[in-house]
Amino acid sequence: MNRRRLLIGLAVLPLALGLWQIGEGATIHAKALLAQHLIAKAWAETLAGSRAVKPWPWADAWPVARLEFPAVGEEMIVLSGGSGRTLAFAPGHLDGSPLPGAPGNSIIGGHRDTHFRLLERLKPGDVIRAEDRWGVRHRFRVTAKQVVDSRITRLDPDGVTPALILVTCYPFDAIVPGGPLRYLVFAEADAGPPSIAVTSLSPSGSPSP
């Protein structure tokens, strides 16, 4: 009887470990999705004129931009800083690089298994829109993608025209987290002036499209 229980236990153990790993992965994704809702509220306050609005009281970052990826039907808020705590909840804007829309290369990083998984699906010519804290929407177009070794590659934030460099770890299907390889998406400012989203009020006082 004891031998039978031992065999059953040995058979169940791999399944239990597998379910635990699946549950842990689901928790990471759930945390990222929930955080975006809280961050979106902080972003709305930012657009209304507040500065450095923390999405939750103990946060050490705040929203600085919103990215839209029409080609893949996704959008997300970007937080300040590129620490591991920040990237657990949203893409992070690298300190020392300009904000999206300002002259130079705005460097934004994100995890390959959550927010920046979409980088794999972007193609040269795809449009990326970046909204700044004043509500101005800057339009970029993907120009290139590249895999580099972070041990020998330095990303330069300097530049004359506005541009984006989106960064995530590579390869996308890696089992072991981390590693030296980085997947880069380059996007340059598209022709045409930036636009401003304006919501008008109807005579009743309610927003009209």
pLDDT tens digits for 154-190? 999 999 999 999 999 999 988 877 899 999 999 999 9
The domain spanning residue 83 has which CATH number?
2.40.260.10
Whole-number Å distance between alpha carbons of 46 and 91: 17
Residue 28 scores a pLDDT above 70:
no
Q: Indicate whether 177 belongs to any domain.
A: yes
Q: What is the DSSP letter of 159?
A: -
Q: Indicate whether 188 belongs to any domain.
A: yes
- Total number of domains constituting the chain: 1
pLDDT band at 59 (very low <50, low <70, confident <90, very high): very high
Percent above pLDDT 90 for the chain: 67
Q: Indicate whether 22 belongs to any domain.
A: no
Q: Look up tokens 């995890």; give the residue.
A: 111
pLDDT at residue 178, rounded to an integer: 81
Residue 78's domain comprises 32-196
pLDDT at residue 203, rounded to an integer: 36
Q: Indicate whether 27 belongs to any domain.
A: no
Coil, strand, or helix at residue 56? coil
* Residue predicted with more confidence, 15 or 111: 111
* Burial group, residue 205, by CB count within 10 angstroms (0-12, 13-18, 19+): exposed
Angle at 104 between CA 103 and CA 110, to 5 degrees: 120
